[in-house]
Chains A and B, each alone.
Chain A
Amino acid sequence: MAELTSTLNQLASGLRFTLGIFFLTLLFSIPLGLLVARGRMSKNKIVAGLVRVYISVMRGTPLMLQLLLVYFGPYYIFGVKLADLDVGPFKYRFVATIIGFSLNYAAYFAEIFRGGIQSMPVGQYEAAQILGFSKAQTFFRIILPQVIKRVLPSVTNEVITLVKDTSLAQVLAVTEMFTMAKNLASSQVSVMPFIVAGVFYYVMNGVIEIIMNRAEKSMRYYS
């Protein structure tokens, strides 16, 4: 019993990092994804081409490899000492995790947003133009709200995947929940920590499902 309590306590301390990675990644990757989607649809062929390569690389290589590159790249390529790259109280290993996750998820979100934006009927743009809305007004008032409704199910998919992907931060020795569970399992010679960690992930995703379902329902007033 004491062992279970201690397991829970230690996993909970790892949960801080898991949640940190989760929320910070969403915070950065969603706006970045929107920007990348705009870039991908840019009329400027150079911009569109570069963004296309970016998306292709991000989706075509393992996230784990990308994390390692962000972490070790500054030292091996530029000779910058990692300790110099700590941001405030955050160690660079954590900062690198957030950067790696955000860049990777932005690519996936960008493709989802692009699909949503391009599925909008051209008549919506034309009506907005005739009514005098500026391009920014048209996008934020007319297009984006409708795009959000359209892409929400796909976004939910990504968000749920992200919860589970946070465990990849172990490659940078970030002591998130999965790293904790692995350490505990080997010291206790038991699978119990893995099972508890699995329940944690599952509960988090349960909460996400409920929240996203509510969000979908709240937009069901129009079709």
Chain B
Amino acid sequence: MNVLEMHNIHKSFGSLEVLKGIDLEVKKGEVVAVIGPSGGGKSTLLRCATTLEYIDKGEIKIAGEKLVSTSQSGLTQYTDKKNIQEIRGKFGLVFQNFNLFPHFSVRRNITESLIHVHKKSKEEANAICDALLKKLDMSEKADSYPCNLSGGQQQRVSIARALALNPEILFFDEPTSALDPELTAGVLKVIRELAEEKMTMVIVTHEMAFARDVADKLVFMDGGVIVEQGSDIISNPQHERTKEFLAGYG
């Protein structure tokens, strides 16, 4: 079963066409890594999948629910607000710069949505939070504030915040780009563990070795199109552009 289906996605900012007809499918339990040069459309693709940007043309289905489609007459229409809100409950997104809520403690960052959006009791929400913090080795930081955590710890909290809502698919937008190499390792370890648990994930990343190890499918994007995809395009690229890009990583 496909948790994410994106067909013929087009997106322009003004006169700049950033996505030129992208097709991407992600099966349940699959880990997809999206690689490619900056400005190639990776992040925009992720932002379109997570409703942070609205597409101009194409079709997106998340967990079987249609988010948007383009009719034969060329009219692109999103589902109604209530459905969009419901679909948002089915995925999580981990940002490059965390975007934790600085005025909330770690615990409140994780439980706020559970309590006030998903109407769970405080006890229930706290139990979910405690379990996640334990799993991510952050239990002793429950009452800390984001500004007192290292970047790596902040990113783990933001992963916990996304996982708390029990998403069917988790998106990562360059989750380690704001971290130094030492802190990167801790975050990548968490993502690896999630992959082992068969969490469905789409990860935009510049960590080639990590992408190769953890991903079931690799997608190379450049110039607004998917140039090449497959399970071993890093070790065995077919396309000239892919080879050229990977050469930059030695």
Which residues of A are interface residues toward B (Cβ below 8 A)? 121, 123-124, 126-134, 137, 141-142, 145-146, 149, 219, 221-223
Contacts and interface: CB of A to CB of B under 8 A. Distances in A.
A137 B101 contact: no
Interface in B60-98: 85, 88-89, 91-93, 95, 97
Contact of B146 (A130, A137, A222): A222
B118 to A, nearest CB: 7
Nearest to A144: B103
Interface stretch (B33-41, B109-117, B239-247): B109-117
B147 interface: yes
A122 B50 CA distance: 15
Given A221-B145, A222-B103, 12 more contacts: A121-B99, A123-B95, A123-B97, A126-B52, A127-B95, A129-B51, A130-B50, A131-B113, A131-B165, A132-B88, A146-B103, A222-B147
B102 interface: yes
List the 3 closest pairs (A to B, CB-CB), nearest first: A127-B99, A123-B99, A131-B113
Q: Which one of B85, B113, B118, B146 has the greatest number of beta carbons of chain A within 10 Å?
A: B113
B102 A146 contact: yes
A221 B100 CA distance: 15
Contacts of A137: 116-117
Contacts of B156: none
Contact of B112 (A121, A141, A221): A141
Contacts of A129: 51-52, 88
Interface size, B (range): 20 to 34
A123 B103 CA distance: 14
Interface of B: 50-52, 85, 88-89, 91-93, 95, 97, 99-103, 112-113, 116-118, 145-147, 161-162, 165
Contacts of A219: 103
A113 B88 CA distance: 30
Main secondary structure, interface of B, reads loop
Contact of A142 (B101, B118, B165): B101
Nearest to A137: B116
Nearest to B146: A222
Nearest to A142: B101
Given A123-B95, A131-B113, A133-B116, A223 B102 contact: yes
A150 to B, nearest CB: 11
A123 B161 CA distance: 15
Contact of A223 (B99, B116, B147): B147
Contact of A222 (B51, B102, B117): B102
23 contacts: A123-B95, A123-B97, A126-B95, A126-B99, A130-B50, A130-B52, A130-B92, A131-B112, A131-B113, A131-B165, A132-B85, A132-B88, A134-B117, A137-B117, A145-B103, A146-B102, A149-B103, A219-B103, A222-B103, A222-B146, A222-B147, A223-B102, A223-B147
Nearest to B86: A132
A126 B93 CA distance: 10
A171 to B, nearest CB: 43
A115 to B, nearest CB: 18
Contacts of B91: 130
B93 to A, nearest CB: 5
A83 B165 CA distance: 61
A132 B118 contact: yes
